[in-house]
Structure 1
């Protein structure tokens, strides 16, 4: 298995520790641990190792599935990774909608072959016919991220139903990374609820503000989940008992948590848009907490812009080439208010100096 370096994560690893502000954070600001009961009791394995059955049943009901069609994972990243290991072998083919988080195309490409279907600015719309044209006889999987990272595009229920139907008609699974779904004011139904070929992955990281739990899950057809459980024996074995303990409380309190987080995302998006608009920068109105912004005049690429901004203001943004789009950068507006205000102030000052 040969896989390319993870461009975005290497950028963060090189710069976020020393910078004053992380203005490329991709999730909502973290909740305080003091909101939860933290006494998990004994720190043993979760038994059974795919997660507490009653909790899995509660999560499965959201997708119209049963407990054996859900597996708890270490965040969405592990859920996606295990799905790819389970569904792709040498000679298999996947169709991946891009731009997107690199692992969603790099891991499938390391296991089989990938054809990318590109979203195009300014609307970043998804054309189901383009997916149909990209599919081959050996296609086993279609991969979509909805809402999309980095663009913030939220593909409609009609579009996702159309993609599901064309995949299912060919006996192909549709995997949708839905980690930002619950930040939408009116979330569309998850892909795993659309039928036997639908697979949904998500976590409590981006929408709930609980990245440190590393708690996520996959919901999908029983034959896929069964294979994933075999692969999981070779990765994390079981979810963290601490993560599962707090995750149960977060799900019990999710109406309160999500209302709070959605309100914060709306307010922060408006404040961020105001600064960008002042300087003539453009983005697609995003769902979630990420915006994919045009590069200002005078900068050749998103990377050169991000490097200069980091050097002068000690603030990290994400260069668009980490998503395969060199003339954009990603900004995250989900962080805590004081940090966002300071980051936007430095961005405003920097842009003013270089106009």
Structure 2
């Protein structure tokens, strides 16, 4: 088994420790531990290792699923990994651009066909997806809202994806980590029927990246198989993460109201900034956008590398998502940090204009 290097993470590893402003962060601003009871008691394994049954029941209810149809994991990254390990046979189809693991992990287990969203509005051609499916396709993969573009596929589009997957005997796996940042979130894919699988976490929408707490919800046979793989990864979710995540879910309405308001204000601010500099994006849902690079730079990578070296502001190069003419910007960070980052980016663009 071989897997491609994770280009975005390797880029971040080179620069993020020393950068003053992380303007490529993909989640909402992190909450402070002072808001939560941070004493989970015994720091042993979570028992049962799939997660606390009463908490799984509460999470499962949002998917119209039982607690046996939910598995708690160490973040959505592990949820995706163990689910791919459980589901993959010979072939998968992944909608791109996307978070690299949603393509690279299934590709490490089998063969992946990609179907591209079409810029500049990142539309999805359902007929192209249909054509990419094969009789042996095990899983169709989508990230909605999308990272990096911020495109939120419509309910009609997601239903069409589910229908063609189900008709083919293929699971539809949707990474929904940004779903609850939408003002009107779509129903989760795991609630759509026997072929629907959803992964998520408290990282992006709840501002709890450090908890490393996520889950997968779906049919019992998928959850049982994913749990079998999880026995070989982390065994159980973090007891600390589960303890804090439970409190966040209890306060979810309050937290999401704050985070959606912050995302909306920052989205407007960044949109105005980009327009003033002649850069374009598809207005995103969530806290990521995927603008075009400024004139005068050969690629998004050269733009991002020059910016971080000159201004200590880190953006994400678009080639990490297969689009070298773009870059990823994140606007979920604190307002003062966002303004500082944009101020430095403004000075940088003025020098290189």
Q: CA deviation at 1:254?
A: 0.3
2:237 matched residue in structure 1? 239
Find the aligned partners of 1:138 and 1:260 in 2 and give their Cα distance. 44
Find the aligned partners of 2:123 and 2:189 in 1 and give their Cα distance. 18
Q: CA deviation at 1:321?
A: 0.3
Secondary structure of 1:95's match? strand
Secondary structure of 1:199's match? strand
Per-residue CA distance 1:299-318 (angstroms, 9 max, x = gap): 11111111111111111100
1:300 matched residue in structure 2? 298
- TM-score where L is the length of structure 2: 0.99
1:290 matched residue in structure 2? 288
CA RMSD of aligned residues (A): 0.7
Residue of 227, 230, 234 corresponding to 1:229: 227
Q: Does 1:280 align with 2:286?
A: no
Q: CA deviation at 1:349?
A: 1.1
Per-residue CA distance 1:251-277 (angstroms, 9 max, x = gap): 000000000000000111111111111
Per-residue CA distance 1:121-167 (angstroms, 9 max, x = gap): 11101122111000112111100000000000000011000000000
1:332 matched residue in structure 2? 330
Alignment of 1:112-151 (within 5 A): 112-151=110-149
1:72 matched residue in structure 2? 72
Per-residue CA distance 1:35-81 (angstroms, 9 max, x = gap): 00111111111111000001101111111110000000000000000
1:52 matched residue in structure 2? 52
2:40 matched residue in structure 1? 40
Secondary structure of 1:294's match? coil
Secondary structure of 1:335's match? coil
Q: CA deviation at 1:354?
A: 1.6
Find the aligned partners of 1:326 and 1:267 in 2 and give their Cα distance. 28
1:168 matched residue in structure 2? 166
Unmatched segments (≥5 aa) in structure 2? none
Secondary structure of 2:115's match? strand
- TM-score where L is the length of structure 1: 0.99
1:109 matched residue in structure 2? 107
Alignment of 1:202-221 (within 5 A): 202-221=200-219
Q: Which runs of 4+ in 1 moved over 2 A?
A: none
Alignment of 1:179-218 (within 5 A): 179-218=177-216
Per-residue CA distance 1:200-244 (angstroms, 9 max, x = gap): 000000111000000000000000101111111111111111111
Find the aligned partners of 1:334 and 1:247 in 2 and give their Cα distance. 19
Find the aligned partners of 1:224 and 1:128 in 2 and give their Cα distance. 25
**Between Structure 1 and Structure 2, how many residues are aligned?**
353
2:84 matched residue in structure 1? 84
Find the aligned partners of 1:284 and 1:351 in 2 and give their Cα distance. 21
2:176 matched residue in structure 1? 178
Find the aligned partners of 1:217 and 1:68 in 2 and give their Cα distance. 12
